[in-house]
Amino acid sequence: MGASLVYLDRPNTVKETITGQSKFGYRFAASCMQGWRLSMEDAHIANLDIGNGIALFAVFDGHGGIEVAKFCEAHFTQLLLANQNFQNKSYPKALEETFLELDVLI
């Protein structure tokens, strides 16, 4: 009985797809599907230019809940841009630190 509070009787297989192309020539596509859950719990970023020709694409899985995914979507870009390693072009370290900072904020 408890599962009916979280899951639908059958999956919602309607897909939402976004596409785009940057001024730098690359193209992207992203698609999501709600599935068995009562609502879509994932969030994403598809930003073609966060500055200096750098694009940012991210998927925040909703297994931690819709609130966590939406929080990450709302704050990730600004935290990344403010990260000193990002400003120094140490992108792998900047991404790692930004995810850890989000964990602390949550």
Domains of the chain in start order, with CATH, are: 2-105 (3.60.40.10)
Model confidence, pTM:
0.85
Mean pLDDT of the chain: 92
- For the CA atoms of the chain, what is the radius of gyration? 16
Which CA distances in Å does 51 have to 12, 20, 56, 62, 103?
A: 37, 17, 10, 28, 25
pLDDT for 3 beyond 70 = no
Q: What's the pLDDT band for 63 if we cut at 50, 70, 90?
A: confident
